[in-house]
Amino acid sequence: MKFIRKVIAFSLILLFATGCGSDSASNKDALKKTDGKDEIVLDENDIKSTGPNGEKAAPASSLTLTDEEIAKLKAGNYSAAISFHYAGNDWSSAQQKGLEDTFKKYGINIVGTTDANFSVEQQVSDLETLTALNPDVMISIPTDAKATSDAFKRVSDQGIKLVFMDNVPDNFVAGENYVGTVSADNYGNGVIAAELIGDKLKGKGKIGIVHYDVDYFVTNQRLEAFEKTIKKEYPDIEVIAKTGFSDVNQSTEVADAMLTQNPDLEAIFAIWDIPAEGVLSALTSAGREDVFVSSIDLGDNIAKEIAQGKVLGVGAQLPYDQGVAEATMAAYALLGKETPSYVAVPATKVERNTIVSGYEMVYHKKAPGFITEELDK
């Protein structure tokens, strides 16, 4: 049976509601009045991504526990550890909050949380530190699937149950080395980002792509989805520039060069919100308010820029929900329940007319004043 969840702003069943839509013909045009609270409809079974090994996604909503099962978890005195690749952004903070709230509900104690700051060496060290704390489960996102594989293998060999966010180490097999993976529908979000630009350009124009030049599962899916959607659905849109970065701090420099070499660019897709901020900085320096931008992930800065009309919109992840699903998947493993190897939350389109409801859906909290104030201007 197909589950469709309708979320209306301020109705909180699992969350607040969300919606989206941008009406500006260019960043210089007057913006259509909106309160940002239009409805977003999510189809939890419409997951376009497949797992790291080609698995079909199970919806995050399928992970549920009975009161009796929760009581067993509380009686078990279990512990958990969390190893982030990078914890300095809104996505990680929301995901951590989802993990903390859910582990608390299940009576599972978090003994340690680390931030590798995108460093392979730091994450290897972090894993050694966390393993020494003897947690029953560990939630992590590898900084590099190949370079951290041996370190995660040592964690698994200690009998610690591993649940991954988004990325899986090389040569790992679900049910053997790890429990499963929880992710956003990154392919679906790439499709959304392409549609935002394609529709705004009315199917014709010249665009650029700023992507992550590292072999990383989720960003690879986003890029593939964006390029295939443009090629198939908007054949008269030409990608005239495509440049990658390995350090997110390079994104402004990359965008500067792209604009200089391609003055006829009409839109740019940035692979996630932090490099999108770099693109916006380059556009401001170049005085190019006529260039449209789409991206993936709804960080606070991008949310404000959507409200201001500087960004068309994003394909948003639901990081709090991902954290809930990761903690619940770990609980499944502790209870010995059969666990799907790949679980995903649906892609979410957030534009200016749904920025308030979208923010509340993503973060499970009221939209801040810096968003609503922009809509009132």
Indicate if the pLDDT at residue 114 is higher than 50: yes
Give the confidence band of 250 by pLDDT, cuts at 50, 70, 90: very high
Give the model's pLDDT for residue 10: 30
Task: For residue 351, give the DSSP letter.
Answer: E
Give the model's pLDDT for residue 351: 97
Give the confidence band of 222 by pLDDT, cuts at 50, 70, 90: very high
Contact yes or no for 73/331 (Cβ under 8 A)? yes
Q: 233 is written with which tokens? A: 């659905």
Mean pLDDT of 41-65: 91
Whether the full predicted model's pTM is greater than 0.75, yes or no, is yes
Count Cα atoms within 13 angstroms, Cβ side, for 329: 34
Fold (topology level) of 4-46+186-318+348-376:
Rossmann fold (3.40.50)
Indicate if the pLDDT at residue 8 is higher than 50: no
Indicate if the pLDDT at residue 122 is higher than 80: yes
Span 132-155, pLDDT tens digits: 999 999 999 999 999 999 999 999
Tell me the domain boundaries of the chain.
4-46+186-318+348-376, 58-184+319-345
Contact yes or no for 1/286 (Cβ under 8 A)? no
Sign of CA dihedral 123, 128, 132, 136: positive
Fold (topology level) of 58-184+319-345:
Rossmann fold (3.40.50)
Question: Mean pLDDT, the chain, as a whole number?
Answer: 91
Give the model's pLDDT for residue 9: 35
Determine the Cα–Cα distance for residues 373 and 324; give it in Å rounded to an integer: 31
Mean pLDDT of 278-283: 97
More confident residue, 248 or 25: 248
Give the model's pLDDT for residue 41: 86
Per DSSP, helices labelled H in the chain are 67-76, 90-105, 120-131, 149-157, 186-200, 217-233, 251-261, 273-286, 300-308, 319-335, 355-363, 369-376
Mean pLDDT of 300-319: 96
Determine the Cα–Cα distance for residues 121 and 144; give it in Å rounded to an integer: 10
Q: 350 is written with which tokens? A: 């957030």
Span 10-36, pLDDT tens digits: 333 333 333 333 333 445 455 788 989
Mean pLDDT of 321-339: 97
